[in-house]
Amino acid sequence: MSLPNMRRTVLSFGQQVVLRKHTQSIVNHIPTFTYVDSDIVAAIQPANAEELELDNIDKNKRYISVFSVNQITINDLIGYKDVDYKIISSEDYSDYGYYELIGAEIKL
């Protein structure tokens, strides 16, 4: 029995967002962090309370759930509706064709 592939479902509900991939390099023996922008398609919705650990959230921030066919890692940023969200949680459902992430609003 094969697993259902949800890739097409994620893409059909998705919209174009900016992925800012977090990279680190060493310059003159000092760690330097940069972001490389690319456009991806992802389905975005507000994160629900069950997905968030209520003890550790800042009630002054907005949180989103991101469903993507692209692999996105912790500390990467998602630009959505002129707001940047830092990925704070990642679940690998690549056997089903997608990744589920939680992003927290940040101010750059």
Neighbours of 25 (CB within 10 A): 9
- By residue count, the chain amounts to 108
- Asked whether residue 53 is assigned to any structural domain, the reply reads yes
Domain with 28, as residue range(s), is 7-106
* CATH number for the domain that contains residue 93: 2.40.10.270
Q: Which pLDDT tens digit goes with each residue over 46-77?
A: 998 777 776 677 778 899 999 999 999 999 99
Q: What is the pLDDT of residues 73-93, one digit of tens each?
A: 999 999 999 999 999 999 999
* Residue 1 covered by a domain: no
The answer to whether residue 35 is domain-embedded is yes
**Contact, 65 vs 45, CB < 8 A?**
yes
Per-residue pLDDT at 54:
60
Q: Given a cut of 90, is residue 102 above it in pLDDT?
A: yes
Q: Token pair for residue 101?
A: 């992430």
Distances (CA, A) of 60 to 3, 9, 44, 45: 39, 32, 20, 18
- 90 lies in some domain: yes
Total domains in the chain come to 1
